[in-house]
Amino acid sequence: KNEVEQSPQNLTAQEGEFITINCSYSVGISALHWLQQHPGGGIVSLFMLSSGKKKHGRLIATINIQEKHSSLHITASHPRDSAVYICAVNNAGGTSYGKLTFGQGTILTVHP
């Protein structure tokens, strides 16, 4: 079992729909990252959070440390949101700062 699990693996939506992508992890963490990767493109950091909730435009990320779970929400989805969304965690403790453990990614397709 992977340390970081995302669901769903694939998600198709119509423009305007509210979207939720989930991430569960099995280890203690010091931070959780949500990343976005467009086809053939680089990886962009959307959020880094260790507690609570963050919002940026139409994107909202939440984390529940006790339940080891995070969600990424997209409100009023748009075709340009079509991308792979990746959850990654920094393991707590240890001596190796910043190393990330990644989920498999969620492929999101938003149709006009």
Residues that bind other proteins (CB under 8 A): 30-31, 33, 35, 41-45, 48, 50, 86, 88, 90, 96-100, 102-105
Distances (CA, A) of 23 to 63, 106, 108: 9, 10, 14
Nearest Cα neighbor of 67 from 9, 25, 101, 104 is 25
CB of residue 9 vs other proteins: minimum separation in angstroms? Answer: 11
| Closest to other proteins by CB, 17 or 54 | 54
3-state SS class at 101: strand
CB of residue 42 vs other proteins: minimum separation in angstroms? Answer: 4
| Closest to other proteins by CB, 77 or 85 | 85
